[in-house]
Structure 1
């Protein structure tokens, strides 16, 4: 009975848009990709140099330029068909000397706490500012309190990441508005500064920086903005409950400069059958300046480079042109991603697929996809190929910030999704360093990305 039904079911599934069953050839190819990455990979060696010999790569910095030169050199040494730099103007912001802050319970009685300036913040006046402090849980609290209770004070945003959310990026999204818009909103009510609880699920003494915006505030109304560590935030909150009249002191020397020229680094293997159909794999070359940016996003950079190297190493000749793009300025402007998409559009280039790695170098769990149902059905049919490598997560959702501007005209966008439970322990903080990288997890991620690129190149988009 089952033998008679099986062919009918196969036909029905095919008519409903499901891709053909992955072949033994595909299974063999993925095995070769994973084996090559784990036995003869280069991603870890690359990341060691990028992190330890160059270091933090804030847009517009000398280190960012060194990273551009390094990326161009390494891609050329792969012997791929084409490597070039794509000019892009980026913002330049410098942190200056180390920030300093303390809680004052009474004159002469102070407790130091760890802070760092948020990216794009204005400095404090020379010598810093000291003012009463008021705690809020979010932007909506400002309207409830009003100018009478906020004017002349430092606003302390203390809404933590929601710990019971398994998807930690969802928890991050639930509170990052206070970091990004907190200063702009508090300034409207007369605040003289803001302190924001770090976007971190762990209790520690590392403040986490990140981008913030003043919106359309005139320069004269901009106020300094800093992050405080999670331990510092809990201490400050406890002290406020005991004594609401305590004061907070901040001293920061950050500064914004005129935009400067930087570059996206691009390398390409030209397709044999469809050279004018482009597939992109990438990560962002810039990082914040507190650590060396190993997880965010040195890992994505070297994994993306490794995709092209692995394909060459195993002797695979892609049908479509595959590009690696090392994007500049994801962290505080997204200028690189926007520039790449703008140039691609102006040239009439047909991009069919783009994959980004920007979620750390932890064990790969799968991918999220921004695509239509027909393409997602095809993707789902490949899931059994990844299950031997414990890669099970295939879901519709976001992809990546840098490839987002490419959206439209049927392109499939994808994001590598590693295990995210520890990612925000390091995100934008001083401890995002090479010693936090696991070699095997990094290499598994590179192999997982390469495997997806291979399958999309072989079968195309729907």
Structure 2
């Protein structure tokens, strides 16, 4: 192809995109279906349902750690709420870990410049799945490294018998430009693998700098990991401020710390995914999932992680009911259980429905809070972007026109691996990790308008996938 031909081709492609933008075009949908999407969008923006449901879930039921009484109450309450909408509800069993936090304290016993007879508090929280210290705690010297490479560079035996701190900061500048997920990914590695790396060099406990962006002396919890061939050691997250303090003092001389953690890992508990089907009018055996995860960590009340995802998914069914819409295919609400401690509920779903995966037309999960959404992230064939353009044009009315190839929710990983087109709202992540997995994850962090924007994306996309003439490319 000559340069001139290539330029002409490029101009034509650009003109095609402009024409699609100007003239729209229904794509896989009729003009009447596009109008219905607009009605769904506007109804979702007016509907207080998600906010009211979220308030009850967080304030009345509270934290929902898998295996806890609150998680069980949340299952029963969500099931009852979905039945009241007229959906067909089933509770599908899943065995989940049952970890209980217990006491968690830390204090410095000796450090350079210490006033005689004093101690100094360290603000920390046990990591999910952590083993306990001895009942009276343990006292050991603290050694600080910034990353795994620095740990490897230590002399042999340098960490043996000590408390090892990974002081690896959350990249707030990366998060500030909308890449909160990337900033979190860089920090959370130490939370996940820290106990293995520290245990392998003989440390008696491990501390990690909290994987979050708000420096208000808030510790961030989350799941950690152990390896079968490495001694399990107690693991906790310290606040950013305390991590910096420990690094400063340890650079001046020996620092001794007393650490007490009393978590328990009990026998696995029986819990449930809540499944609620809004049956399709023509192909009820074909399903489109709208979902969030019902469990939460236990420090806060799980408003943005992931009560908001549950509430906007419930609202998708509520809007369809209020507008009297029965799409051709079934819209299936799923409240996943135990995303935070290993996605056991999602794994069980894939096993239970292994023979029906071909009838899963699409799956959506919201699990990045409730800040302003800018569009749809899709996981699957590149053709999904073109397929969704008419939907994006409808969502442009609420400032959410973007289509990006990327990830979807953690609970959708098994479905996506089997070829099910998977989706998530693209959400503003600049502030999410300030509160995520902390005591500050509470109802007041949710903006009602932003919550309804997320509900609008969930409802419009669910209807679009469930009522399209041709299914989403897969």
TM-score exceeds 0.5: yes
Q: Which residue of 1 aligns with 2:191?
A: 179
CA contact (8 A) 1:101 1:251 kept: no
Alignment of 1:340-351 (within 5 A): 340-347=349-356, 350-351=359-360
CA contact (8 A) 1:19 1:377 kept: no
Residues 160-200 of structure 1: per-residue CA shift (max 9 Å, x gap): 12233231101111121110110111101000111110111
Q: Which residue of 2 aligns with 1:234?
A: 244
Report the 3-state secondary structure (helix = DSSP H, G, I; strand = E; otherwise coil) of the residue aligned with 2:422. strand
Report the 3-state secondary structure (helix = DSSP H, G, I; strand = E; otherwise coil) of the residue aligned with 1:164. helix
**1:90 Cα deviation from its structure 2 partner:** 0.4
> Cα–Cα, structure 1 residues 427 and 161, in superposed 2: closer, same or farther, change >3 Å?
same
CA distance in 2, matches of 1:9, 1:291: 49
CA distance in 1, matches of 2:47, 2:339: 30
1:438 maps to 2:447: yes
> Cα–Cα, structure 1 residues 9 and 67, in superposed 2: closer, same or farther, change >3 Å?
closer
**1:305 Cα deviation from its structure 2 partner:** 0.9
CA contact (8 A) 2:44 2:452 kept: yes
**1:146 Cα deviation from its structure 2 partner:** 4.6
1:322 maps to 2:331: yes
Report the 3-state secondary structure (helix = DSSP H, G, I; strand = E; otherwise coil) of the residue aligned with 2:158. helix
**1:297 Cα deviation from its structure 2 partner:** 0.5
CA distance in 2, matches of 1:421, 1:180: 22
1:414 maps to 2:423: yes
CA distance in 1, matches of 2:16, 2:454: 35
Residues 285-328 of structure 1: per-residue CA shift (max 9 Å, x gap): 00000010011001101111111111111121111111000000
**1:26 Cα deviation from its structure 2 partner:** 4.8
CA distance in 1, matches of 2:151, 2:243: 19
CA contact (8 A) 1:330 1:402 kept: yes
Per mean C-alpha deviation after superposition, the further-off stretch among 41-50 and 105-114 is 105-114
Residues 56-84 of structure 1: per-residue CA shift (max 9 Å, x gap): 0001111110011111110111112x100
Residues 431-459 of structure 1: per-residue CA shift (max 9 Å, x gap): 10112111221111111111111222232
CA contact (8 A) 2:108 2:119 kept: yes
Identify the match of residue 129 of structure 1 among 138, 143, 147.
138
> Cα–Cα, structure 1 residues 21 and 73, in superposed 2: closer, same or farther, change >3 Å?
closer
How many residues are aligned here? 448
> Cα–Cα, structure 1 residues 415 and 94, in superposed 2: closer, same or farther, change >3 Å?
same
CA distance in 1, matches of 2:312, 2:418: 27
**1:423 Cα deviation from its structure 2 partner:** 0.2
Per mean C-alpha deviation after superposition, the further-off stretch among 284-293 and 408-417 is 408-417
1:208 maps to 2:220: yes
> Cα–Cα, structure 1 residues 236 and 373, in superposed 2: closer, same or farther, change >3 Å?
same
**1:103 Cα deviation from its structure 2 partner:** 5.8
Q: Which residue of 2 aligns with 1:102?
A: 108
> Cα–Cα, structure 1 residues 361 and 247, in superposed 2: closer, same or farther, change >3 Å?
same
Q: Which residue of 2 aligns with 1:429?
A: 438
1:270 maps to 2:276: no
CA contact (8 A) 2:101 2:264 kept: yes
CA distance in 2, matches of 1:318, 1:439: 27
CA contact (8 A) 1:278 1:349 kept: no
Q: Which residue of 2 aligns with 1:461?
A: 472
Residues 354-398 of structure 1: per-residue CA shift (max 9 Å, x gap): 000000011112221111122222123432222221113321111
Per mean C-alpha deviation after superposition, the further-off stretch among 380-389 and 191-200 is 380-389
Residues 114-137 of structure 1: per-residue CA shift (max 9 Å, x gap): 100000001111221121111112
Q: Which residue of 2 aligns with 1:299?
A: 308
Q: Which residue of 2 aligns with 1:196?
A: 208
1:168 maps to 2:162: no
CA contact (8 A) 2:51 2:451 kept: yes
CA contact (8 A) 1:134 1:156 kept: yes
**1:344 Cα deviation from its structure 2 partner:** 0.8
Q: Which residue of 2 aligns with 1:397?
A: 406
CA distance in 2, matches of 1:146, 1:276: 62
Per mean C-alpha deviation after superposition, the further-off stretch among 30-39 and 409-418 is 30-39
Identify the match of residue 44 of structure 2 among 15, 37, 44.
37
Structure 2 residue runs without a partner (length 5+): 1-11
1:84 maps to 2:126: no
Report the 3-state secondary structure (helix = DSSP H, G, I; strand = E; otherwise coil) of the residue aligned with 2:276. strand
**1:153 Cα deviation from its structure 2 partner:** 1.0
Per mean C-alpha deviation after superposition, the further-off stretch among 169-178 and 100-109 is 100-109
Q: Which residue of 1 aligns with 2:166?
A: 157
CA distance in 2, matches of 1:407, 1:25: 30
Q: Which residue of 1 aligns with 2:9?
A: none
> Cα–Cα, structure 1 residues 408 and 95, in superposed 2: closer, same or farther, change >3 Å?
closer
CA distance in 2, matches of 1:348, 1:354: 11
CA contact (8 A) 1:122 1:222 kept: yes
Q: Which residue of 2 aligns with 1:93?
A: 99
**1:147 Cα deviation from its structure 2 partner:** 3.6
CA contact (8 A) 2:44 2:459 kept: no
